[in-house]
């Protein structure tokens, strides 16, 4: 407004604090170059002769700002600022690259530092899993998991071994009771025959096998009706039905039996 070129250049000096800005130009109302500030690194770059009709635009890494100077609704001139963000982009790329390298380094360092710790944790767990698989496959409850350390995993191994010992004790008790049952079953002086709902023979004791003159294995493919006198078969069928209808009661019935020699008893 007052044609003070020195004051205009002082106003443009503010761009010295903006590293991306390379140059600033002020044009008068007629569109002629009035004042300019070019940074040292941009000495080869010159202000455009005229910026009439130009608009602010961003191309690649370069920003061109065109702004009219308005006072009392009258255009007094135009400000043109040229900035190049290439260096800023490179700094950003370098920062991302450095950050990536740091993350990679930290990850590698963490891996090597945590590997012994992971092995310290995974080794007892692996031994425990192997012991569980071996016991499940062989049903040998005398096997035990190996305790490595006196820590929480060691407590887990102790609890697992205690559980397996309890199962082993229970299995031995069941086996002992089963052996006593079979001993009493075979040595019982009465004839004892186990059958299913269809009358198929499941097992017989030794007394029954001796009485009928057959081996225990000979009864596997027979039914109880094969050893019952023909006239007593309907009675036997009704007797089995009564047993199935009242399984908690003790049922008694007399039958005539046929031995392997055809004798009726």
Residue 54, CB-side half-sphere exposure with 13 Å CA sphere:
21
d(CA 265, CA 259) in angstroms, rounded, equals 8
pLDDT of residue 44: 65
pLDDT at position 45 over 80? no
User: DSSP states of 182-210 as a string?
Assistant: HHHHHH-SS--EEE-TT-BEEEE-HHHHH
Burial of 208 (0-12, 13-18, 19+ CB in 10 A): buried
Domains of the chain and any CATH numbers: 5-84 (3.30.450.20), 91-178 (no CATH), 190-245 (3.30.450)
Residue 193 three-state SS: strand
d(CA 201, CA 226) in angstroms, rounded, equals 10
Mean pLDDT taken over the chain: 83
Across residues 221-250, what is the average pLDDT? 84
Dihedral sign of CA atoms 234, 235, 236, 240 in order: positive
In the numeric block, the tokens 């503010």 are attached to 14
Percentage of the chain exceeding pLDDT 70: 95
pTM for the predicted model, two decimal places:
0.40
Report yes or no: 225 and 233 within 8 Å, Cβ to Cβ.
yes
pLDDT of residue 86: 85
The residues that bridge with 64 in the sheet, in sequence order, are 57, 82
Give the strand pairing for 74-84 and 21-28. antiparallel
Range in 74-83, 220-229, 233-242 the model is least confident about? 220-229
């Amino acid at each position: 407004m007052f044609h003070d070129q020195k004051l205009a250049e002082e106003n443009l000096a503010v761009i010295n604090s903006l590293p991306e800005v390379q140059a600033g130009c002020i044009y008068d109302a007629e569109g002629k170059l009035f004042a300019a500030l070019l940074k040292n690194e941009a000495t080869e770059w010159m202000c455009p002769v005229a910026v009439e009709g130009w608009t602010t635009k961003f191309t690649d890494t370069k920003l061109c700002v065109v702004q009219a100077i308005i006072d009392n609704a009258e255009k007094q001139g135009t400000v043109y600022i040229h900035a190049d963000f290439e260096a800023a982009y490179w700094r950003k790329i370098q920062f991302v690259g450095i950050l990536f390298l740091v993350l990679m380094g930290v990850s590698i360092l963490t891996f090597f530092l945590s590997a012994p710790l992971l092995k310290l944790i995974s080794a007892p767990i692996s031994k425990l899993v192997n012991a569980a698989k071996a016991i499940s496959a062989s049903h040998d409850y005398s096997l035990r998991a190996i305790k490595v350390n006196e820590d929480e995993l060691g407590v887990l191994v102790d609890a697992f071994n205690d559980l397996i010992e309890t199962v082993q004790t229970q299995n031995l008790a069941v086996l002992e009771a089963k052996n006593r049952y079979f001993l009493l079953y075979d040595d019982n002086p009465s004839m004892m025959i186990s059958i299913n709902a269809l009358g198929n023979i499941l097992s017989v004791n030794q007394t029954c096998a001796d009485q009928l003159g057959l081996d225990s294995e000979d009864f596997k493919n027979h039914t109880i009706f094969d050893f019952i006198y023909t006239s007593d078969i309907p009675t036997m069928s009704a007797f089995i039905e009564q047993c199935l209808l009242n399984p908690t009661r003790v049922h008694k019935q007399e039958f005539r039996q046929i031995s392997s020699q055809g004798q009726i008893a």
